[in-house]
Amino acid sequence: MINYKVTENTQELSEILTLQAGNLPNQLSEETKKEQGFVTVHHDMDILKTMHDVHPHIIAVSNGAVAGYALSMSRKFRNDIPVLEPMFSKIDASEIGKSNYLIMGQVCVAKDFRGQGVFRGLYTHMKKVFSGTFDCIITEINAKNIRSINAHNGIGFTELIRYDFEGETWVVVFMDI
């Protein structure tokens, strides 16, 4: 059984970091990245905790362990993670940049839980938690991460813009809540 909730303690944050570390591009084969997707940004405990203190992250828990996560990021962190600065500039230049939005900073589902609706469950819970506080959720996806693009499209995200930065193409998507 999988339960969805917000993060409450450093043990959960530590489990997020462990799951993240195993899904960074340098930990995966090209075939695995293509078939299973990957995460791009490597967070440390300090930034993850600081983000949590502003808006708790959404996690899927099974048997007491984190099975998946969706990071909640306020736009106040726009300068704290350099790789995300171009995304914020693109959002600012768009019509949706005027809305009250939340950034979903990264989503990841543990390998043993993929294909079981956990991805959808994380976003469903995120919408429930932040409905009434934010107008929409925005995230960006590396264009090479076809699995993630398809998963986001499949639950109702719409493409806002594509842009190139440091040799990579990024797809910014949003979903009204």
Q: Do residues 100 and 122 lie in contact, with contact meaning Cβ atoms separated by under 8 Å?
A: no
Overall size of the chain counted in residues:
177
Say if residue 131's pLDDT is above 90. Answer: yes
- Reduce the DSSP state of residue 110 to 3 states and report it: coil
For residues 168 and 48, give the distance between their C-alpha atoms in angstroms, rounded to a whole number: 24
Which numeric CATH code is attached to 3-176? Answer: 3.40.630.30
Structure tokens at 140: 């960006």
Q: Which residues of 150-167 are buried (b: 16+ CB within 10 A; e: fewer)?
A: ebbeeeebeebbeeeeee
Question: For residue 81, what are the contacts with CB-CB under 8 A and spacing of at least 6?
Answer: 41, 43, 47, 105
Say if residue 156's pLDDT is above 80. Answer: yes
Going by pLDDT thresholds of 50, 70 and 90, the confidence category of residue 92 is: very high
Going by pLDDT thresholds of 50, 70 and 90, the confidence category of residue 164 is: very high
For residues 77 and 103, give the distance between their C-alpha atoms in angstroms, rounded to a whole number: 10
**Average confidence (pLDDT) over 80-107:** 92
Question: For residue 150, what are the contacts with CB-CB under 8 A and spacing of at least 6?
Answer: none
Q: Where are the domains of the chain?
A: 3-176
Given this model, what pLDDT does residue 72 score? 95
For residues 174 and 2, give the distance between their C-alpha atoms in angstroms, rounded to a whole number: 26
Q: What is the DSSP string of 20-79?
A: HHTTSGGGS-HHHHHHH--------HHHHHHHHHHSPPEEEEETTEEEEEEEEE-GGGTT
- Percent pLDDT > 90 in the chain is 80
